[in-house]
């Protein structure tokens, strides 16, 4: 798909030049000219008051009908499924129902029988098992090889991976090996009702813009999905499915990295995505000790603390607490934003919380634009007052 | 030892604002910068060079001709030479196409021990181009690198995880993607700024790197942007009034009324 200026209709108003997020349009002799930086996003098509810009479809058609089924990468660490896997299965179920196909999970590890039953219970119709001592912990070369072979053999039409530090490493490698596209960090997936292809929506430009991406002529269609965004699959005890063992063989030196050790530091991350209550702090705290007050409120509610990027960059708190575009996406029942101004990158990670409460000294802070309840005041007075009321 | 750093010039997305009436991006006056993670990648390479004068550090980017400004900045930080892959045919590339083009450029540069890249660029946030370039070059990749140590022909790195890190040993040649925790990028030095003025930037088009226009840019991209739009905002709620005590009391009673606490 590409964007084209219809020269006869262009009036030279240059509205498209201003609207282009990628600075890809210039005026030459009072006619808009689309340059190299064009990504085909189509913003200018909608902006042009004279319908002088159009999107053209490419006419490449391949036989894609061999590819069937929705796959989920069942990421495990230390023999436990990552919470995002349950979310992927929930989403995969919905997509598969709309397409009229089934859901499979791919699990790699040294021992996967218990995980297989768990995956069946969460809705997988089939589980492809890759079992080998070398697959106990994730390593790029090993997992890429095994899953690439499975894709080539069984030909899924859609593959979903969690946008974790592992999924964001594996996904790109698989996409190149299988010669297909990958859309990163999706927050919404839809099936086109006409052609049953997937539409993948993701934030771009630091959350300033949402882009819906398609992968029309390559298979499988691949997405990594932000943890904490999709609804979890339902657990049905005793649900059964079909387990399929994959052939796994490694040659010597085929896996080119060696894990010397695994070191655990902050242990709170899982509780950030699962937390019902999050009390988050920004630079308005004034100092790192401010998080202690937030912790009191979080503890009282049975929740956890979070942070804006600015506090992480200032070294006040570990990055695993960061909420936002480059941190964790959260959707708790209540999100307290304390001394957080509300940069778009932060909003991108917490806007789907059920209730947002903003406490800030600056009444013009953008955070109030998304808050259900806004309190203009000193958080060091307001939070102790809230604690008294609880 | 030869090190290559892949860099990208990006709009500073922290400076991008939304027109409140039209709901469109305001990009006038938004500065172009060296992508932050790429600055960490370059710093990692320069730090290795600081300890060993035999190390040569090159920088590579794909982009329009104005990317030269950013490459000059990299030279002024201490890089030895710079390559720009620039061609109309490269435009509109997704990560599949970008990695294909970068890999072709890297093959032409040749004989590299370590390739650094930023984990992700702030305009796209995909984190895909690094690992995809490594796959095309058939070299090992470690992403999210927060510490690097070179030991002979091996590199030992810390790979950042959500809840800690993995200590990983990888053979060279390899590709490593840097996160901001890796280091604090240095400033340009006066000496290097003067020195950088005299350095040539090598510019290659698709023929120079033996890539057919069919295999780069928008044409070769499996993914396409179907549409883009500004994210819907949640909408402003209620501002509470009174003293800290009164507002807190009102808030807590409202939340109790909603049965959320």
Which residues in B lie closer than 8 A to residue A377 (C-beta atoms)?
Answer: 244, 247
Q: Characterize the bridge pairing of strands B2-6 and A70-73.
A: unpaired
Is the domain spanning A2-56 CATH 2.60.120.260? The answer is no
Residue B30 to chain A, least CA–CA distance (Å): 11
Mutant choice from B35, B90, B174, B237 vs A, greatest count of A C-beta within 10 A = B237
Higher pLDDT, B69 or A57: B69
Place of tokens 């509470």: B240
- Residues of chain A found within 8 Å of residue B92, distances taken between Cβ atoms: 2, 36-40
Q: What is the DSSP letter of A257?
A: E
DSSP 8-state symbol, A269: H
> Between chains, do B127 and A172 touch, taking CB under 8 Å as contact?
yes
Q: What tokens appear for B220 in the block?
A: 């070769």
Phi, psi of A171 (to 5 degrees): -55, -55
Q: How distant is the Cα of B194 from the closest Cα of chain A, in angstroms?
A: 30
Asked whether residue A61 carries a pLDDT value surpassing 60, the answer given is no
Nearest residue in chain A measured CA to CA from B127: A168
Contact A92, A206 (CB under 8 A): no
Using the Cβ of B229 and the Cβ atoms of chain A, whether some distance falls under 8 Å is answered with: yes
According to the model, what pLDDT value does residue A319 have? 85
Confirm or reject CATH 3.40.50.1220 for domain A269-389, answering yes or no.
yes
CB contact under 8 A, B135 and A177: yes
Point out which residues pair with A334 in neighbouring strands.
A277, A355
Give me the residue from A320, A344, A355 closest to B163, CB to CB: A320
Interface of B with A in 32-91 (CB under 8 A): 64, 87-88, 90-91
Distances, alpha carbon A276 to alpha carbons A328, A334, A367, B226, B253, in Å: 14, 7, 20, 35, 18
Nearest to A212 among B136, B140, B226 (CB): B226
pLDDT of residue B20: 62
Chain A residue with the nearest C-alpha to that of B66:
A37
Angstrom distance (rounded) from CA A80 to CA A78: 6
pLDDT confidence band for A266 (50 / 70 / 90): low
Over range A261-279, report the average pLDDT.
79
Which one of B31, B99, B226, B243 makes the best mutation probe of the A interface by having the most chain A beta carbons within 10 Å? B226
Closest-CA residue of B relative to A225 is B126
Burial of A253 (C-beta count, 10 Å sphere; 0-12/13-18/19+)? exposed
* pLDDT tens per residue, range A318-338: 888 999 988 888 889 999 999
The average pLDDT across A113-127 equals 98
Mean pLDDT within A212-227: 96
- Are both A70-245 and A269-389 of the same fold? yes
Burial of B210 (0-12, 13-18, 19+ CB in 10 A): exposed
CATH says A70-245 is which class?
A: alpha beta
Encode pLDDT of A165-174 as tens digits: 999 999 999 9
- The partner residues of A2 in beta bridges, in order of sequence, read A56
Closest CB to B168 among A179, A260, A343: A260
What is the nearest CA distance from A373 to chain B, expressed in angstroms? 5
The average confidence (pLDDT) of chain A is 92
Which residue shows structure tokens 């349009």? A25
Comparison of pLDDT for A139 and A39, the residue scoring more: A139
Confidence (pLDDT) at A45: 87
**Which residues of chain A are within 8 Å of residue B139 when distances are taken between CB atoms?**
256
Q: Average pLDDT in the A286-305 region? A: 94
* For A198, nearest residue in chain B (alpha carbons): B226
Task: Copy the structure tokens of residue A191.
Answer: 């099936």
Sign of CA dihedral B250, B254, B259, B261: negative
- Interface residue B109 vs chain A (CB under 8 A): no
* CA–CA distance, B4 with B77 (Å, rounded to integer): 14
**Is the CB of residue B149 less than 8 Å away from at least one CB of chain A?**
no
Tokens of A292: 């202690």
What pLDDT shows up at residue B25? 67
Q: Do A208 and B167 touch (CB under 8 A)?
A: no
The answer to whether A184 contacts B128, with C-beta atoms less than 8 Å apart, is: yes
Percent pLDDT > 70 in chain A is: 97
CA dihedral B10, B93, B6, A166 (to 10 degrees): 100
pLDDT, position A187 = 93
β-pair type (A182-186, A188-191): unpaired
Task: Note whether B251 contacts A357, CB cutoff 8 Å.
Answer: yes
pLDDT of A62 strictly over 70 = no
For B167-198, the DSSP string reads EEEEESSEEEEE-GGG--PPPP-HHHHHHHHT
* Complex-level ipTM beyond the 0.90 threshold: yes
Name all domains of chain B by residue range, CATH numbers in brackets: 2-220 (3.40.50.620)
Q: How far is B227 from chain A (nearest CA, A)?
A: 5
In this predicted structure, what is the pLDDT of residue A237?
A: 95
User: Measured over all CA atoms, what is the biggest interatomic distance in chain B, rounded to whole angstroms?
Assistant: 71
Residue A59 has pLDDT above 60, yes or no: no
Residues of chain B scoring pLDDT < 70? 18-25, 27, 233
Looking at residue A130, the DSSP 8-state letter turns out to be E
Q: Considering only alpha carbons, which residue of chain A is nearest residue B16?
A: A208
- Confidence (pTM): 0.84
State the SS3 of B65-132: HHHHHHHHHHHHHCCCEEEEECCHHHCCCCHHHHHHHHHHHHHHHCCCCEEEEECCCCCCCCCCHHHH
Residue among B11, B169, B223 whose CB faces A183 most closely: B223
Nearest CA in chain B to A343: B14
Q: Helix (H, G, I), strand (E, B), or coil: what is residue B49?
A: helix
Q: How many CA atoms lie within 13 A of A369 on its CB side?
A: 12
Residue A374 has what pLDDT? 95
The domain locations on chain A are: 2-56, 70-245, 269-389
């Amino acid at each position: 798909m590409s964007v084209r200026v219809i020269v006869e209709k262009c009036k030279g108003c240059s509205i498209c030049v201003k609207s282009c997020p990628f600075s890809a349009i210039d005026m030459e002799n009072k006619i808009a000219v689309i340059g190299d930086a064009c990504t085909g996003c189509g913003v200018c098509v909608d902006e042009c008051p004279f319908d002088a810009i159009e999107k053209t479809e490419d006419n490449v058609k391949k036989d894609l009908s061999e590819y069937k089924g929705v796959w989920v990468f069942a990421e495990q660490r230390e023999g436990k499924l990552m919470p995002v896997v349950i979310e992927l299965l929930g989403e995969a179920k919905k997509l598969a129902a709309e397409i009229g196909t089934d859901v499979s999970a791919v699990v790699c590890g040294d021992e996967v029988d218990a995980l297989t039953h768990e995956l069946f219970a969460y809705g997988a119709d089939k589980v492809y098992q890759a079992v080998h001592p070398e697959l106990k912990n994730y390593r790029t070369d090993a997992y890429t090889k095994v899953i690439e072979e499975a894709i080539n053999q069984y030909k899924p039409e859609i593959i979903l991976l969690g946008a974790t530090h592992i999924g964001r490493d594996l996904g790109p490698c698989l996409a190149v090996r299988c010669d297909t596209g990958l859309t990163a960090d999706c927050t919404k997936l839809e099936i086109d009702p006409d052609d049953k292809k997937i539409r993948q929506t993701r934030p771009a430009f630091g959350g300033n813009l949402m882009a819906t991406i398609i992968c029309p002529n390559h298979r499988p269609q691949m997405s990594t999905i932000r943890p904490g965004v999709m609804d979890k699959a339902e657990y049905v005890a005793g649900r059964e499915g079909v387990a399929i063992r994959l052939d796994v063989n490694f040659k010597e030196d085929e896996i080119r990295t060696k894990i010397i050790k695994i070191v655990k530091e902050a242990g709170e991350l899982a509780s950030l995505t699962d937390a019902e209550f999050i009390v988050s702090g920004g630079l308005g705290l004034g100092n790192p000790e401010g998080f202690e007050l937030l912790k009191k409120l979080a503890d009282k509610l049975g929740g956890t603390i979070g942070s804006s990027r600015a506090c992480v960059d200032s070294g006040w708190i570990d990055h695993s607490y960061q909420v936002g575009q480059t941190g964790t996406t959260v959707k708790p029942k209540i999100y307290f934003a304390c001394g957080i101004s509300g940069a778009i990158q932060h909003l991108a990670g917490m806007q789907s919380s059920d209730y947002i409460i903003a406490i800030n000294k600056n009444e013009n802070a953008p955070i109030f634009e998304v808050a259900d309840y806004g309190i203009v005041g000193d958080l060091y007075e307001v939070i102790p007052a809230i604690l008294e009321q609880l | 030892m030869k090190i290559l750093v892949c860099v990208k010039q990006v709009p500073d997305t922290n400076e991008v604002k939304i027109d409140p009436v039209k709901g469109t991006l305001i990009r006038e006056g938004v500065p172009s910068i060296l992508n932050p993670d790429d600055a960490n990648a370059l710093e990692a390479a320069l730090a290795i060079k600081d300890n060993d004068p035999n190390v040569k550090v090159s920088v590579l980017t794909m982009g329009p001709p104005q990317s030269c400004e950013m490459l000059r900045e990299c030279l002024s930080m201490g890089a030895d030479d710079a390559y720009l892959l620039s061609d109309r045919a490269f435009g509109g590339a997704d990560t599949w196409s970008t990695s294909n083009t970068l890999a072709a450029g890297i093959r032409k540069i040749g004989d590299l021990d370590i390739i650094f890249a930023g984990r992700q660029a702030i305009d796209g946030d995909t984190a895909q181009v690094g690992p995809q370039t490594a796959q095309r070059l058939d070299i090992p990749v470690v992403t999210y690198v927060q510490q690097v140590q070179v030991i002979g022909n091996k590199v030992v790195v810390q790979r950042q995880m959500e809840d800690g890190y993995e200590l990983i040993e990888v053979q060279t040649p390899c590709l490593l993607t840097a996160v901001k925790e890796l280091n604090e990028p240095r400033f340009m030095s006066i000496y290097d700024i003067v020195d950088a003025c005299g350095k040539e930037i090598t510019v290659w088009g698709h023929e120079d790197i033996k890539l057919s226009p069919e295999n780069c840019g928008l044409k070769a991209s499996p993914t396409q942007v179907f549409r883009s739009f500004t994210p819907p905002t949640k909408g402003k709620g209620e501002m509470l009034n009174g003293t800290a005590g009164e507002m807190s009391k009102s808030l807590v009673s409202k939340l109790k009324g909603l049965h959320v606490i």
